[in-house]
Amino acid sequence: MISKILVIPSIDIQDGKTVRVVRGIPELGSAEYGSDPVEMAMIWRAENAKTIHVVDFNFSHEHKHTNSELIKRMCEAVVIPVILGGGIRNLDDAKFAFDLGVARVVIGTTAFEMPREFIKILDEFSPNKVVAAIDVIDDEVVTRGRQTRTHLQATSYAKFLKSCGATRIVVTDVTTNGMLSGPNIDLSRRVAEAAETKVTHSGGIGGVDDLMKLQLEAHEFVDSVIVGRALYENKFSCQKIWRVAEAGIFN
């Protein structure tokens, strides 16, 4: 039996608006999708999403709480878990996020630059609520909004995160993110094997064929996938995809 992969819609927020940025880097250009993020969260919930992944670009790049009240309203508007990433640098940032109502936080740069602080956050809230992020360009881990190269291979970093206590990793091939160019399945496989855990895949899903490919070829090491642009640009019916998955037709 092929296990089902959870489809997680992504809502990227900048200046209070839903946006889609090129390769996850605002400086490379972004497109507004014309919807209030709270309304967008309610739409994905109505479309049968089981959880939502939110990235706060203002907090990530400016460390300002520009969108905090908005994120709080998003959490209050839906009855499904909201995962929040972007700019969480220390224990206080994580506490602030959980106080807004989010179910999980995603931590990237802090885990690399301040591993002791990352471990402190893991210990305070448990690995079930704290997700590590690995952003990769040409098999090299990048940090600080995907703009700083670390000269560290993804698999080596995955082993390090495991040693810190992380049990959930979001893996993103930055070159495919938002490009609809197909998923880098090999990267997710190698990270999952190095960390000895299933991972959340992010980047490259351009439509139903890519989702099916991920389901068929990666289900042994990927248990969830974050999808953004393909959903917003109607590359497939998200509601249909979720219903098919729930019915077990992928099996």
From the list 56, 93, 135, 223, the catalytic residue is 135
Instruction: Quote the tokens at residue 117.
Output: 């602080």
Domain residue ranges of the chain, discontinuous segments joined by +: 6-245
- Annotated active-site residue 139? The verdict is no
The yes or no reply on domain 6-245 and CATH 1.10.3720.10 is no
User: pLDDT tens digit string along 103-143?
Assistant: 999 999 999 999 999 999 999 999 999 999 999 999 999 99
Computed over every residue of the chain, the mean pLDDT equals 87
- Annotated active-site residue 99? The verdict is no
User: pLDDT tens digit string along 154-164?
Assistant: 999 999 999 99
Residues contacting 209, CB < 8 A, separation 6+ = none
From the list 12, 56, 93, 223, the catalytic residue is 12
- Quote the CA–CA distance of 25 and 171 in Å, as a whole number: 16
Residue 27 pLDDT:
43
Q: Are 129 and 105 in contact (CB under 8 A)?
A: yes
User: pLDDT tens digit string along 163-199?
Assistant: 999 999 999 999 876 666 789 999 999 999 999 999 9
Res. 28: pLDDT tops 50 = no
Give the position of tokens 């049990």.
167
pLDDT tier at 25, thresholds 50, 70, 90? very low
